[in-house]
């Protein structure tokens, strides 16, 4: 009897806004009355039903995202009360953010490090590591000198294959729990992605 | 009501169930507007009595009030100064924006005040929102006439590339017309929906939508009921109207010598444009033709060949091709990775446009659904999905980046274009002067780096910041975009908790007062609407009775007494005539007269139906409940 007041709070800190029954964290609907719930503070991984890991299958991320949007998108609530419409919009917003973060390997790595209390820093424009700096400058120069779309493509191809390589070592570092190396690789991926992005814009101009 | 009883439950000619759930799809176009409705996944365009589904998006302001559609178009010749067309190009635009269009629009603009642009039509000054509301009222009436009941909810389509101001203007126009917008759907997405592309194997499709005044290209990924927009782009001021202008200018150059320096009148401009449009349309099927131009009271014929037309419109087509490449690049796709391309919009009938699309994507485009109607059909499907429930999922993106003005007139982007919506993002800013007590927040939309080159959406002031040294305040500005692509901005000073929330409205939108005044005016229309609705209800009731009678006669004309058939026929004819007119009382009287005349016949049918019901049963089966299940419901008799 003593536990009566305590137990629900341990298992479910949130009460349903509609019926007052407990709702587990990251659960989009009240298990009792089926009302849509606020998105709450769940992290992007648990929102889409994943453990905190770098290695995610993009097809699976997409599948879970579509499944949840099918239930939570504002279009499903077009004829419901303003309160439910507002909650569904908040849910769909959180889902989009989770989807965008997890789908992109770089954003996923940055987010994973942040969850472990490590800020990657760097914006792809400035590079502090001397070895990285040399590599970055060399590629920037090659891009600046490219005069035709095929020359731009060559730079992109090189940057892409390096980015692929970085993504696979990133995976190794994350699974080994080597967050320091993961941070270095993430920085490297930041500038490679930025370079590929700039090359994309440049390709449209030379084409 | 006797005749109605002749129908089995569920067989009445008009469905009653779900009346509250009814919602239509409306394509509010630059040139034409279309309304459609869908039931059980089958969308259908609601046409007028002549079978036309296109309502020209033209409004004439006559002394008897506004006239919309073909009737308004017909007045271009006699009273061009009262006629407004292509108003969609002005939605959400400010006076400054349209200076660039000055001279190309066939009506006068009032550039005197800031904010939303005003049109000068006779002695009225009208906003594009009011003119669009007039078109929507007409389209709504057409739907009501067709469906025989009130229509108050709709899915309305907008170009994917419409910015926040233009989307809001469209929603306001619908509100003025008495329509609740369930959702603003992007035109290319609606087209993909109408094609049912998601039912094919999963793939990536481009929708190339060239209308009268807007160009849109969207790239979508489709997979089992999911329409995921990957990237979108376009030009909100590029369309078939530009082709017409190019042709008209070409002809005017021919007659330049006699025109001298005096500008042509709006009336002459409208007529020349009309002829140019006719020429453009004619050259879809022909290689050349001669077309009339009337100026200074003199008509001359001008030759136009397909080759010349191609040359005149090439710059615009090339512009669309450039935008397509950009959007494919935004979606991180090679053009060759696109599985198919769909054509939407009347201007895609121009052969050179088709050719350019085919060359660009390397495959023949899909165009089997009428490009003028496909968007409305898709909107109707979505209207049904929203009201009846569905598994279809439309995942849209923000078409243009949203940002804030920072020091030196630069733009700090808060949400990038092509971000999936709904979305919310926050950014922190700080003060640049010691003791700064307020901060101007200027919200802009666009891709350029400077405020001057982006669209201004709204300005507001966050006041009441407590005195602090420069850089100490933490102002957190949150942008929230809903599934319609509409933005709400809120700002909060974190150290003191000073909070402000604005619906982005001002720069080019209508103020609350203006909206209130317009809604009040629309109530006057409302009374007329009410009369019309009552008439429609009577007409529907009359048709229902006629249909019931027809069905009864088809099966049971053998039950008619001598001369009874003629009497019923006479009453039937009177009712049919009354329905064609607009006298409610006459229709009511005719319905009653027909029901009275046909009552004996109806009763004989009823008797026979009862006997048929008993046939094959032993009378013993009904013992203990004498006639209980057979007696006519007394409620129904009244």
Predicted confidence (pLDDT) per residue in B305-360, tens digit = 889 999 999 999 999 999 999 899 889 898 999 999 999 988 999 999 999 999 99
For strands B24-28 and B153-158, give the pairing.
parallel
- How far from the centroid of its chain's Cα atoms is residue B27's Cα? 3
Q: Is the Cβ of B343 closer than 8 Å to some Cβ of chain A?
A: no
Scanning the structure block, which residue is given the tokens 């090359």? A199
Burial B64-101 (b: 16+ CB within 10 A, else e): eebbbbeebbebbeeebbbbbbbbbbbbbbbbebbeee
Judge: A74–B482 Cβ closer than 8 Å, yes or no.
yes
Q: Name the architecture of domain B240-312.
A: Alpha-Beta Complex (3.90)
Look at the block and give the residue holding tokens 């998105």: A39
The CATH number of the structural domain formed by B524-637 is 1.20.1270.10
User: Looking at residue B107, what is its pLDDT?
Assistant: 63
| Mean of all residue pLDDT scores within chain A | 83
Structure tokens at B131: 């003119």
Identify whether B434 is a catalytic site residue: no
- Which of A103, A119, A151 terminates a domain? The answer is A103
* Mean pLDDT, rounded, for B234-238: 84
The residue of chain B with its CA nearest to that of A99 is B420
**Facing residue for A204 by CB, picked from B183, B326, B424:** B326
Is residue A198 included in any domain, yes or no? yes
Q: Is B242 a catalytic residue?
A: no
Q: Are A183 and A142 within one domain?
A: yes
Which helix (H) or strand (E) covers residue B70, if one does? helix B70-73
Residue-level pLDDT at B80: 78
| Per-residue pLDDT at B263 exceeds 60 | yes
Q: What is the pLDDT of residue B259?
A: 66
Q: Which residue of B has its CA nearest to A203?
A: B329
Whether chain B has a CB inside 8 Å of the CB on A78: the answer is yes
The pLDDT mean for chain B works out to 81
pLDDT tens per residue across span B475-533:
888 889 999 988 888 888 777 777 666 555 545 555 566 666 666 665 555 556 567 66
pLDDT tens digits along B172-229: 999 999 999 999 999 999 999 998 876 666 789 999 999 888 899 999 998 888 899 9
Q: Kindly report the CATH number assigned to the domain that includes residue A64.
A: 1.10.287.110
Tell me, yes or no, whether A124 lies in a domain: no
- What SS3 class is residue B353? helix
Tell me whether residue A199 is in a domain. yes
Average pLDDT over residues B568-579: 91
What digits encode the pLDDT tens for the residues B393-429? 899 999 888 988 887 778 888 998 889 999 999 888 8
The reply to whether A20 and A76 lie within a common domain is yes
Buried b (16+ CB within 10 A) or exposed e, B302-318: bebebeebbebbeebbe
User: Percent of chain B at pLDDT above 90?
Assistant: 26
- pLDDT for B115: 66
Instruction: Examine residue A26 and state whether it is found in any structural domain, yes or no.
Output: yes
CA atoms within 13 A on the CB side of B458: 23
d(CA B23, CA B181): 9
Domain boundary among the residues A86, A103, A120 is at A103
Q: What is the pLDDT of residue B634?
A: 35
Residue A164 lies in a domain: yes
Highest mean pLDDT among B93-107, B109-123, B366-380: B366-380
Interface residue A181 vs chain B (CB under 8 A): no
Residue B582 has pLDDT above 70, yes or no: yes
Does residue A45 have a pLDDT over 90? yes
- Is residue A118 included in any domain, yes or no? no
Domain that holds residue A54: 15-103
Residue B443 structure tokens: 């919200």
pLDDT of residue A94: 94
pLDDT at B1: 33
Pick the residue with more confidence: B257 or B92? B92
Spatial contact of B60 and B66, defined as CB atoms under 8 Å apart: yes
- How confident is residue B373, by pLDDT bands cut at 50, 70 and 90? very high
* Closest among A96, A200, A193, A101 to A153, alpha carbons compared: A200
Ramachandran class of A157: left when φ > 0, alpha when ψ lies in -120 to 50, beta otherwise: alpha
Is B466's Cβ below 8 Å from some Cβ in A?
no
Same domain, A19 and A99: yes
Domain range annotation of chain B: 24-239+313-395, 240-312, 402-510, 524-637
Question: A79 vs B386: CB contact, 8 Å cut-off?
Answer: yes
Instruction: Examine the domain organization and report whether A82 and A29 are in the same domain.
Output: yes
3-state secondary structure B170-236: HHHHHHHCCCEEEEEEEHHHHHHHHHCHHHCCCEEEEEEEECCCCEEEEEEEEECCEEEEEEEEEEC
pLDDT tens column, B45-60 = 998 878 888 999 999 8
Domain count, chain A: 2
Residues whose CB is less than 8 angstroms from the CB of residue A64 and which lie 6 or more positions away in sequence, other chains included: A48, A49, A50
End-to-end Cα distance, chain A? 76
A121 domain residue, yes or no:
no
Q: Please list the alpha-helical segments (H only) found in B237-373.
A: 240-254, 256-259, 266-282, 306-330, 351-361
- Nearest-angstrom CA–CA distance, B155 and B377: 11
* Smallest Cα distance from A177 to chain B, Å: 31
Q: Of A96, B551, A134, A192, which Cα lies nearest the Cα of A200?
A: A192
Catalytic residue among B27, B235, B241, B373: B27
Let me know if B588 is a catalytic residue. Answer: no
Which of B436, B501, B499, B425 minimizes the C-alpha distance to B473? B436
Chain B residue whose CA is closest to A196: B332
What pLDDT, on a 0 to 100 scale, did the predictor assign at position B204?
92
| Same domain membership, residue A93 and residue A20 | yes
Q: How many CA atoms lie within 13 A of A122 on its CB side?
A: 25
pLDDT at B468: 81
pLDDT reported for residue B516: 64
CB of B318 less than 8 A from some CB of A: no
CB contacts, 8 Å: A97 with chain B: 423-424
Answer yes or no: is pLDDT of B440 > 50.
yes
Q: What CATH class has B24-239+313-395?
A: alpha beta
Residue with tokens 């993430």, as numbered in its chain: A186
The helices-and-strands tally (H runs, E runs) of chain A is 8, 2
Which has more pLDDT, B58 or A138? Answer: B58
A92 CB neighbours in chain B (<8 A) are 422, 483
Backbone angles phi, psi at B14, to 5 degrees: -120, 130
* pLDDT of res. A56: 93
CB B214 within 8 A of CB B30: yes
pLDDT at B96: 65
Residue A187 in any domain: the answer is yes
Q: Which of B386, B393, B423 sits opposite A93 (nearest CB)?
A: B423
CATH topology for B402-510 is: Substrate Binding Domain Of DNAk; Chain A, domain 1 (2.60.34)
Strand partners, B439: B462
Instruction: List CB contacts of B579: < 8 A, sequence separation 6 or more.
Output: B539, B542, B543, B546, B587, B590
Average pLDDT over residues B295-307: 83
Same domain, A63 and A143: no
Is A67 an 8 Å CB contact of chain B?
A: no
Which stretch of A123-132, A170-179, B21-30, B44-53 has the lowest confidence by average pLDDT? A123-132
Domain-ending residue, one of A103, A122, A146: A103
Could you give the ipTM of this predicted complex?
A: 0.85
What CATH number is given to the structural domain containing A156?
1.20.1280.20
Q: Is B368 a catalytic residue?
A: no
Active-site residue (options: B209, B241, B405, B529): B209
pTM for the full predicted model: 0.76
Mean pLDDT of B371-398: 91
B386 contact A CB<8A: yes
């Amino acid at each position: 009897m003593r536990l009566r007041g305590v137990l629900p709070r341990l298992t479910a800190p949130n009460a349903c806004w509609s019926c007052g029954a407990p709702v587990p964290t990251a659960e989009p609907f009240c298990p009792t009355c089926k009302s849509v719930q606020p998105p709450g503070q769940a992290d992007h991984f648990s929102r889409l039903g994943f453990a905190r890991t770098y290695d995610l299958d993009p097809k699976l991320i997409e599948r879970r995202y579509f499944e949840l949007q099918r239930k939570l998108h504002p279009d499903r609530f077009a004829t419901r009360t303003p309160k439910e419409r507002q909650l569904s919009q908040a849910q769909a917003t959180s889902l989009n953010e989770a989807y965008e973060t997890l789908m992109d390997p770089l954003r996923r790595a940055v987010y994973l490090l942040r969850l472990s209390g490590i800020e990657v820093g760097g914006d792809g424009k400035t590079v502090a590591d001397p070895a990285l700096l040399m590599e970055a400058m060399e590629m920037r120069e090659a891009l600046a000198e490219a005069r035709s779309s095929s020359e731009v493509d060559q730079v992109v191809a090189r940057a892409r294959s390096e980015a692929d390589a970085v993504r696979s070592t990133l995976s190794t570092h994350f699974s080994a729990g080597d967050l320091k190396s993961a941070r270095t690789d993430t920085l490297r991926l930041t500038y490679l992605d930025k370079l590929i992005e700039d090359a994309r814009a440049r390709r449209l101009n030379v084409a | 009501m006797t005749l109605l009883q002749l129908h089995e439950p569920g067989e009445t000619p008009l469905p009653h169930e779900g009346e509250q759930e009814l919602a239509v799809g409306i394509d509010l176009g630059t040139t034409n507007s279309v309304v459609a409705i869908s039931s059980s996944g089958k969308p259908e365009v609601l046409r007028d009595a002549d079978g036309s589904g296109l309502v020209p998006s033209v409004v004439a302001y006559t002394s008897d009030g506004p006239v919309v559609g073909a009737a308004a178009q017909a007045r271009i010749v006699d009273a061009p100064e009262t006629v407004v067309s292509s108003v969609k190009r002005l939605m959400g635009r400010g006076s400054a924006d349209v200076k660039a269009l000055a001279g190309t629009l066939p009506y006068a603009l009032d550039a005197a005040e800031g904010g939303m642009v005003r049109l000068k039509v006779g002695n009225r000054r009208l906003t594009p929102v009011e003119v669009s509301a007039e078109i929507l009222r007409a389209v709504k009436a057409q739907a009501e006439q067709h469906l025989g009941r009130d229509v108050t909810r709709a899915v309305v389509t907008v170009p994917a590339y419409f910015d926040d101001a233009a989307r809001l203007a469209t929603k306001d126009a619908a509100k003025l017309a008495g329509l609740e917008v369930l959702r603003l759907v992007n035109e290319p997405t609606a087209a993909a929906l109408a094609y049912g592309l998601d039912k094919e194997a999963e793939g990536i499709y481009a929708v190339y939508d060239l209308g009268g005044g807007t160009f849109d290209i969207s790239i979508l990924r489709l997979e089992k009921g999911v329409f995921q927009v990957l990237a979108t782009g376009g030009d909100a001021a590029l369309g078939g109207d530009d082709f017409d202008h190019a042709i008209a200018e070409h002809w005017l150059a021919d007659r330049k010598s006699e025109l001298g320096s005096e500008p042509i009148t709006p009336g002459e401009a409208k007529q020349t444009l009309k002829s140019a449009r006719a020429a453009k349309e004619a050259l879809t099927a022909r290689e050349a033709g001669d077309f009339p131009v009337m100026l200074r009271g003199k008509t001359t014929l001008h030759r136009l060949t397909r080759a010349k037309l191609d040359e005149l419109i090439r710059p615009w087509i090339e512009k669309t091709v450039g935008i397509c490449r950009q959007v494919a690049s935004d979606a991180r796709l090679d053009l060759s990775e696109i599985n198919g391309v769909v054509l939407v919009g009347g201007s895609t009938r121009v052969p050179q446009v088709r050719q350019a699309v085919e060359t660009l994507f390397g495959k023949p485009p899909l165009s089997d659904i009428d490009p003028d109607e496909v968007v409305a059909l898709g909107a109707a499907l979505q209207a049904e999905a929203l009201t009846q429930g569905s598994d279809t999922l439309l995942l849209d993106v923000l078409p243009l980046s949203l940002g804030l003005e920072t020091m030196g007139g630069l733009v700090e982007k808060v949400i990038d274009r092509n971000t999936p919506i709904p979305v919310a993002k926050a950014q922190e800013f700080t003060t640049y002067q010691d003791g700064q007590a307020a901060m101007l927040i200027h919200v802009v939309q666009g891709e350029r780096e400077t405020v001057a080159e982006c669209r201004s959406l709204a300005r507001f002031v966050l006041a009441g910041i407590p005195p602090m040294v420069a850089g100490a305040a933490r102002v957190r500005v949150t942008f929230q975009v809903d599934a319609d692509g509409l933005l709400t901005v809120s700002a909060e000073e974190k150290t003191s908790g000073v909070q402000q929330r604005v619906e982005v409205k001002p720069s080019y939108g209508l103020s609350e007062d203006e909206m209130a005044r317009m809604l009040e005016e629309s109530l006057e229309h409302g009374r007329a609407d009410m009369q019309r609705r009552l008439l429609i209800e009577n007409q529907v009731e009359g048709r229902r009775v006629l249909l019931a009678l027809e069905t009864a006669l088809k099966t049971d004309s053998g039950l008619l007494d001598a001369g009874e058939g003629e009497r019923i026929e006479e009453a039937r004819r009177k009712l049919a005539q009354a329905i064609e007119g607009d006298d409610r009382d006459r229709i009511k009287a005719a319905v009653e007269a027909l029901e009275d005349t046909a009552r004996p016949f109806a009763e004989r049918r009823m008797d026979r139906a009862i006997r048929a019901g008993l046939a094959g049963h032993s009378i013993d089966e009904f013992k203990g409940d004498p006639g209980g299940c057979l007696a006519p419901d007394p409620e129904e008799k009244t």
